[in-house]
């Protein structure tokens, strides 16, 4: 049984090399790429301008296969969420957010996530594996042509593009799955594929410093950083990666990245947690951090009202508090937006992805056990308690 090569795994240069192995000229790779990524074709016979001999070769050796759709839900606000199967009982989510002048697709890069931020239900499931290029770009390929089908828009460059912006903000830390993510980004930007501008593709990271530097050299798209805290002690507890790459190091990396980025600012994402990181004092610390003479960085803030889930033990900041916090940042001249919560009714909001699909680390079970022990041994059982020195 021959294993078929999935052509969704190849960036433009790799597809040229593959066609070379079949004894074909580079322009064939461009034609093939247009059929795949602009027309959504998965049947080689439909690729009418390819030589019949090439089509016959491809039929026995290659395939175009994106992850299978498990479910497809549309929210009352138009947000559409697909759950796609990536094998071994794992599924990831892809979310489309329509707005008046753009359509944004939120893509996943890993099944589960190893970063384990305290406020993210995806992280609580633990990490299973990195996605392949075909599984990452396949989400865009599937969504673009599903959306067109729903609206009766023809495939190909003449049909109106449905997805104008892509954000790597779904499940997983994209920079911990660097090569497949970078390859998928190259396809998004290529004129013979999706032709998206670097300004309209955003990668969100929790701050993997060495890989931020690598990204700036290989495929510098717009950058968003999950900040969520204004000092190291607080961030260590919320984003464990901070222990490895603390705030000043992270800021310095953001500053280096901006020399190559398509936008002249970094977006800092900040999840608003009631009584944890949402005081005026925290906001003032943030101002001091981003305006620091050495590591300060040109930025804007996106404040995200937290989507509570039981295991986190955290609550969403109250609206007046979020507003007051944003006013401190804006008074310092920092552009600040408050994210509208979208798709709550279909669990498509940030940090809620694929929670019910699979709980690899049995969080639910462990949380119940912990509650039972706390009843038995007191509320501080299992907690880190500060002992005054």
Q: Hey, which residues are catalytic here?
A: 93, 350
CA torsion sign for 5, 200, 125, 232 is positive
Query: E strands along the chain, which residues?
Result: 5-6, 62-63, 68-74, 80-85, 91-99, 102-106, 110-112, 127-130, 165-168, 201-205, 222-226, 266-272, 299-305, 335-338
228 is in an annotated binding site: yes
**Orientation angle between helical segments 247-258 and 209-218, nearest 10 degrees:** 0
37 is in an annotated binding site: no
Would you state the structure tokens that stand for residue 278, as one six-digit string?
């949402």
42 is in an annotated binding site: no
Contact 350, 169 (CB under 8 A): yes
For tokens 């299978």, what's the residue?
68
DSSP 286-335: HHHHHT-TTT---EEEEEEE----GGG---BPPHHHHHHHHHHHHHTT-E
46 is in an annotated binding site: no
The distance of Cα 347 from the centroid of its chain, to the nearest Å, equals 16
299, β-bridge pairs: 266
For tokens 């023809």, what's the residue?
154
Kindly state the DSSP code that residue 343 receives in the 8-state scheme. -
172 is in an annotated binding site: yes
Q: Which of 234, 189, 182 is nearest to 205 (CA)?
A: 182
CA distance 190 to 183: 11
Contact 242, 202 (CB under 8 A): no
CA distance 94 to 101: 20
Annotated binding site: 113, 117, 120, 172-173, 204, 226-228, 307
């Amino acid at each position: 049984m021959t294993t078929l090569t999935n052509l969704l795994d190849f960036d433009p240069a790799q597809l040229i090399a593959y066609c070379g192995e079949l004894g074909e000229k580079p322009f064939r790779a461009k034609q093939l790429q247009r059929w795949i990524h602009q027309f959504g074709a998965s049947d080689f016979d439909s690729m009418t301008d390819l030589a019949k001999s090439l089509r016959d070769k491809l039929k026995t050796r290659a395939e175009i296969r994106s992850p299978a759709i498990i479910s497809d839900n549309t929210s009352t606000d138009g947000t559409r969420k697909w759950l796609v199967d990536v094998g071994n009982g794992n599924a990831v989510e892809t979310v489309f957010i329509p707005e008046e002048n753009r359509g944004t697709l939120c893509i996943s890069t890993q099944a589960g996530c190893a970063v384990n931020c305290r406020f993210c239900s995806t992280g609580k499931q633990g990490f299973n594996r990195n996605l392949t290029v075909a599984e990452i770009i396949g989400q865009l390929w599937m969504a673009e042509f599903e959306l067109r089908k729903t609206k009766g828009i023809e495939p190909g460059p003449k049909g109106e593009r449905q997805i104008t912006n892509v954000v790597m903000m779904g499940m997983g830390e994209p920079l911990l799955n660097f090569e497949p993510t970078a390859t998928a980004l190259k396809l998004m930007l290529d004129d013979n594929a999706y032709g998206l501008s670097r300004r309209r593709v955003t990668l969100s990271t929790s701050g993997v410093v060495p890989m931020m530097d690598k990204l700036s050299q290989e495929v510098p798209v717009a950058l968003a950083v999950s900040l969520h805290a204004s000092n190291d002690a607080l961030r260590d507890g919320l984003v464990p990666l901070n222990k490895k790459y603390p705030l000043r190091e992270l800021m310095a990396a953001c500053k280096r990245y901006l020399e190559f980025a398509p936008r002249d600012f970094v977006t800092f994402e900040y999840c608003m947690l009631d009584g944890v990181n949402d005081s005026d004092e925290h906001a003032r610390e943030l101002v001091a951090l981003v305006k620091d003479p050495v590591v300060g960085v040109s930025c804007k803030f996106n404040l995200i009202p937290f989507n509570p889930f039981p295991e986190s033990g955290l609550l969403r900041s109250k609206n007046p508090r979020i507003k007051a916090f944003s006013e401190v940042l804006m008074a310092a001249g920092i552009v600040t937006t408050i994210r509208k919560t979208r798709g709550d009714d279909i669990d498509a909001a940030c940090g809620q992805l694929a929670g019910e699909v699979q709980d690899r680390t049995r969080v639910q079970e462990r949380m119940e056990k912990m509650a039972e022990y706390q009843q038995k041994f007191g509320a501080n059982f299992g907690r880190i308690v500060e002992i005054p020195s």
